[in-house]
Structure 1
Amino acid sequence: MINNEELPIGFTMELAQHSDILNLFSKLDEASKQEFINRAREIKNRDEMRSYVESLGDFISG
């Protein structure tokens, strides 16, 4: 499990708003989770983060 201190706060907040995406994210292997987290660190505003998290749902669910 990834330590919550490693998660960007905006990413965490958006995942909390999208429980379906959070559920999908939690089932990923650690390497995939880390890749998504690293990309999230590059996002600088709320709207971009929301779009990113929503796009993760589409990507993960296929």
Structure 2
Amino acid sequence: MPTASSRSAASEPAKPLPHFRVPVNRQIAIIKTLGSMPQPCHVRDIQERTNIGSWQVGIAMKFLLDCELA
């Protein structure tokens, strides 16, 4: 097993973290919208309801999926 000093900077973090380019208020809006929508849904559906760009919705969804919250 590699030690911490031998790991590359590009490796995945030990725990998923929310992306710094998606503000907390937008992440909360995405979570609330996701909870109110029929499942499964698409990023475009969330984008239409929240008026948040699909790039930010997609990045927030990656975090939520990594944490098994979505």
Q: Could you say which TM-score interval applies, normalised by the shorter chain?
A: 0.3 to 0.5
Task: Return the TM-score normalized by structure 2.
Answer: 0.32
Question: Larger Cα Rg: Structure 1 or Structure 2?
Answer: 2
